[in-house]
Amino acid sequence: MTSRTTDGPTGHRTHDGFFAGIEPPDRRRHDTLDVHTAPGATGRRPAVVLVHGGPIPPGHVPRDSAVFTGYGALAAATGLVGITFDHPLHATTDYPASAAVVAAVLDRTREMEQVDPDRIALWCFSGGGALAADWLRAAPPWLRAVAWTYPVLAAPPEWPGDRKRFDAVAAAQTSPDLPKLLVRVGAEYPQLVAPQEALVASARTLEVVDLPGSAHGFETQGYDGEARQAVEQAMAWVADTLGP
């Protein structure tokens, strides 16, 4: 079974598949990003900025996928503001352009009236994992946590750009006390395993969630109770780290 989203009777989007049963959030569109909050939420809340992977084909809108509407809904249900957005990672040479978009989204997130600007987490997925490196290397005080799910943690060896800039494993060592979380899968792409193991071996303050029976992109493969519980635990870790 594949995951899909449908329009609910109130105009929210409801889920089946991997994110089945999560309360539909209040999802507001702001040109290049979406804001997910619990219905009726008031006051300022901590936010988690969800960074999709890639490379993606031009014209693809990851924030409209069931994966990221699902993570946004889960963030809202956990008491956070979930931020989803699109960045131009159409090829590995686009890392600098995507990094600029991530920086702009973080700035915009902190300016939102529903967001506590001093309690922000960054959660990067797949090919977006290397985009955390800039923020690990010079972590501002308002960045309270960095999380990854089945991440690419460095640019490929043949990449012609600044590989050091996008080496998240090395960058993590420059922010040893910043809380970090890694969700890794048993059926991972072979080239991603060694950098993930290097992160586990070298990073302090790293929480690891292992899903030995899951594959890269497991959220697209239908409901899986064990993986869903792990994702909920990971989101709860983010919420706990950001504080009440």
Q: What is the mean pLDDT of the chain?
A: 91
pLDDT, tens digit, 9 for 90 and up, residues 186-241: 999 999 999 999 999 999 899 999 999 999 999 999 998 999 999 999 999 999 99
Residue 155 has pLDDT above 90, yes or no: no
Domain ranges of the chain: 17-242
Predicted confidence at residue 16, as pLDDT, reads 67
Q: Domain 17-242 belongs to what architecture?
A: 3-Layer(aba) Sandwich (3.40)
Q: 185 pairs with which residues across the strands? A: 211
Measured distance CA(27)–CA(38) in Å, rounded: 9
Q: What is the DSSP letter of 126?
A: G
- Amino acid identity, residue 135? W
This prediction has a pTM of 0.92
- Mean pLDDT throughout 30-49? 94
- 45, 107 Cβ separation under 8 angstroms: no
Q: What is the dihedral of CA 164, 169, 175, 177, to 10 degrees?
A: 180
Give the residue, 180 or 16, on which the prediction is more confident. Answer: 180
Give the residue, 186 or 3, on which the prediction is more confident. Answer: 186
Measured distance CA(128)–CA(65) in Å, rounded: 16
Tokens standing for 143? 């960045």
Pairing status of strand 45-51 against strand 81-85 = parallel
Give the residue, 161 or 9, on which the prediction is more confident. Answer: 161
pLDDT, tens digit, 9 for 90 and up, residues 42-91: 999 999 999 999 999 998 999 999 999 999 999 999 999 999 999 999 99
Measured distance CA(170)–CA(72) in Å, rounded: 29
As to burial, measured by CB atoms within 10 angstroms (0-12 exposed, 13-18 middle, 19+ buried), residue 61 is exposed
What confidence tier does 10 reach under pLDDT thresholds 50, 70, 90?
very low
Residue 13 has pLDDT above 70, yes or no: no
